[in-house]
Amino acid sequence: MEDDEVAEVRGVNHRQELEPVLLDTAQEKYHSLPGGQKFDKKSSDMKKVTELVKKQEKSEKFSKEDLEFIYQMKSSIEGFGYKKDPRIVELLKERNSKEDVSIIFGCEPSQIAWNKGEINENTKVYIGEWNPEISKKIPENVLHLYESLPGKKILRTTIELSIKSSEEYTKELTKQGFQIHPSAQDMLNKLEPLKQKEKIDLVSFSLEQIGLSLKQSGFSNSTTLQQVYAKAKELGLELCPPQVGPELRLNYKDQPMGEWLRIAMDSISNHRDRPMIFTVESPGLLLGCERGEPESMFMSHMRFVFRSRKN
């Protein structure tokens, strides 16, 4: 317990994972305590893993929904331990990923590209290395993009920027259950409405993927925001209008668990007069923010959303 709420539910399996036979017993207990309901997804996920282990042992066929779950296409599998349940890795080891992916996306194996050399006009799904050069080679009609499996989804999308006022953005985000960081709210309050709607193409890369993985400015594997923007411009990527922050948050309801995207944009000051940029984060489906001074430091694994081109 922590602050009179359930803070941890642990067992004695791998890395303190809860034993499958005790899931119902533990659930009954934590449901009787404040804050216990937040562990229901973990319980549900672990029961599903147990179900699939039994299916695999009996050589039973996995449904499309089973495959989407074990490959974590829609959400990450959560457990009670400190590490991922090792049964997930064992299940995937015994699967034929090429056959499974064709079932998940309802396409022929030949329509799945597993590297840049396999990309052609018939490609419907791409799973492989990701960088601006590869992004340009992938046809626009390829909608399913992943860096790897289990589901490490690539964000490449087109959204329409509206003419909402800052008050309308706040109302819509709140109505749909999204969280707004206080400093992000400060930024929202300063947004000037666009004069007309505009469609915009967005793409996300880590700093390493755009070539910023070397030692920069005295910090190992880090670089400044000024350097990030300069490199993006060199690659033909552009900064986003600030409206991309709230619009992407509203449109990205299936954001993968643990993903944290920073919006490449001109900074907006919060109530402390600190320059900030918007972030779109999960869990919590949060519209957040991060320091946006030119000298702000970012690590090579961190991901930014850029405007890929003007329509």
Q: pLDDT tens-digit profile of 20-52?
A: 999 999 999 999 999 999 999 999 999 999 999
For 19-38, letters b (16+ CB in 10 Å) and e give ebeebeebbeebeeeeebee
Spatial distance between the Cα atoms of 123 and 291, rounded to a whole number of angstroms: 39
Can you tell me the distance from the alpha carbon of 50 to that of 80, in angstroms, rounded to the nearest whole number? 14
Tokens standing for residue 154:
């690539």
Spatial contact of 91 and 71, defined as CB atoms under 8 Å apart = no
d(CA 110, CA 125): 10
pLDDT in tens, 110-167: 999 999 999 998 999 999 999 999 998 888 778 899 999 887 899 999 999 999 999 9
pLDDT band, very low/low/confident/very high, at 216 (cuts 50, 70, 90) = very low
Distance CA 304, CA 279 (A): 9
Q: What is the reported pLDDT for 51?
A: 97
Cα–Cα distance, 162 to 244 (Å, whole number): 10
Residues 6+ apart with CB under 8 A from 202: 155, 156, 157, 158, 159, 240, 244, 248, 305, 306, 307, 308
Q: For 128-180, give the DSSP string.
A: S---HHHHHHS-TT--EEEEETTTEE--EEEEEE----HHHHHHHHHHTT-EE
- In three-state secondary structure terms, 154 is coil
For the chain, what is the mean pLDDT? 92
CA 105 to chain centre: 19
Task: Tell me the average pLDDT across 276-297.
Answer: 94
pLDDT in tens, 168-212: 999 999 999 999 999 999 999 999 999 999 999 999 999 999 998
Q: Which two tokens stand for residue 100?
A: 């499974």
Residue 26 pairs in a beta bridge with none
**Torsion 26-27-29-34 (CA) sign:** positive
Cis peptide before 109 (omega within 30 of 0): no
- For 44-95, what is each residue's pLDDT tens digit? 999 999 999 999 999 999 999 999 999 998 888 999 999 889 999 999 999 9
Which pLDDT tens digit goes with each residue over 250-267?
999 988 878 999 999 999
Percent of the residues in the chain that have a pLDDT greater than 90, as a whole number: 82
Given pLDDT bands bounded at 50, 70 and 90, which one contains residue 215? low
Q: What stretch of H or E contains 170?
A: helix 166-175
Q: What is the pLDDT of residue 119?
A: 92
How many Cβ atoms from other residues are within 10 Å of residue 266's Cβ?
Answer: 12
Q: Comparing C-alpha atoms, which of 84, 79, 78, 51 is closest to residue 65?
A: 51
pLDDT at residue number 220:
57
Mean local confidence (pLDDT), 259-284: 94
- Ordered by start, the domain boundaries in the chain are 14-66+77-91, 97-153, 157-309
Structure tokens at 276: 């900030």
Tally of residues, the chain: 311
Q: Which residues have C-beta within 8 Å of that of residue 220, sequence separation ≥ 6?
A: none
Q: How far apart are the C-alpha atoms of 159 and 168, rounded to whole Å?
A: 18
